[in-house]
Chain A
Amino acid sequence: GAVVSQHPSRVICKSGTSVKIECRSLDFQATTMFWYRQFPKQSLMLMATSNEGSKATYEQGVEKDKFLINHASLTLSTLTVTSAHPEDSSFYICSAGDTGTDTQYFGPGTRLTVL
């Protein structure tokens, strides 16, 4: 089946530093990938839609300069949290759209803790 990986699974960083999270579709090509944020015991909040070779589309209220998204290939999208602060601590999940099955497949998530 369609598999999406995320790396790292957990990251702890100091306030003010930047963190990069990778999302890879392992067995299919994804022209569209999505980045979500999930707060404890809450649903997923879509942050942005990432399209291969073009700029990401950010949801209202999401700072594009803080959450940099790059989708340089059909199997890789990255989310960089710049100048991270404690309020950026969260669970970040990516998904990749498989046009062959018209379905999004989700990565295992990345737990970010900013000290």
Chain B
Amino acid sequence: AQSVTQPDIHITVSEGASLELRCNYSYGATPYLFWYVQSPGQGLQLLLKYFSGDTLVQGIKGFEAEFKRSQSSFNLRKPSVHWSDAAEYFCAVGEGTYKYIFGTGTRLKVLA
């Protein structure tokens, strides 16, 4: 069955520290992979996506993610976290504009 797992429900980092949010997926075909960010009471904003090609993708707000087929992972990284990055982060797998499967989300807290 297709699924997306975000093992970390909560993560707390200090401002300026590096960040890695984990995402593992189970999908029969080559997936399209996405990371979205949601601020409280807001919709979801696309951070980045991977369809094919270079396995290291750059997104907005200084985020990047690396697709590792052998590990079925698509982890999100940022070298230096800002206080404004505090939010909920969702990993999703999908096939084009069709149904997405979302992970349960990781809530990021940033300490000043």
Residue numbers of A with Cβ under 8 A of B are 4, 6, 32, 34, 41-44, 46, 49, 91, 93, 95, 97-99, 102-109, 111
Please tell me if the beta carbons of A104 and B43 are within 8 angstroms of each other in the complex.
no
Please tell me if the beta carbons of B43 and A46 are within 8 angstroms of each other in the complex.
no
Roughly how many angstroms separate A6 CA and B51 CA in the complex, as a whole number? 28
Residue numbers of B with Cβ under 8 A of A are 32, 34, 36, 41-46, 49, 51, 90, 94, 96-100, 102-105, 107
CB distance from B89 to the nearest CB of A (A): 11
Please tell me if the beta carbons of A109 and B41 are within 8 angstroms of each other in the complex.
yes
Known: A43-B104, A102-B32, A106-B36. A32 touches B45 (CB 8 A): no
Residues of B within 8 A of A108 (CB): 42-43
Please tell me if the beta carbons of B34 and A106 are within 8 angstroms of each other in the complex.
no
For A4, A34, A41, A103, the residue with the greatest tally of chain B CB atoms inside 10 Å of its CB is: A103
Please tell me if the beta carbons of B42 and A43 are within 8 angstroms of each other in the complex.
no
| Given A104-B34, A107-B43, 19 more pairs with CB closer than 8 A | A6-B43, A32-B98, A42-B104, A42-B105, A43-B102, A43-B104, A91-B41, A93-B43, A98-B97, A99-B96, A102-B32, A102-B51, A103-B46, A103-B49, A104-B94, A106-B36, A106-B43, A106-B45, A111-B41
Contact of A32 among B36, B49, B97 (CB under 8 A): B97
Q: 27 A-B pairs, CB-CB below 8 angstroms?
A: A6-B43, A32-B98, A34-B99, A34-B100, A42-B105, A43-B102, A43-B104, A44-B44, A46-B99, A46-B100, A49-B99, A91-B41, A95-B44, A97-B97, A97-B98, A98-B97, A99-B97, A102-B96, A103-B34, A103-B97, A104-B34, A104-B97, A108-B42, A108-B43, A109-B41, A109-B42, A111-B41
Residues of B within 8 A of A102 (CB): 32, 51, 96-97
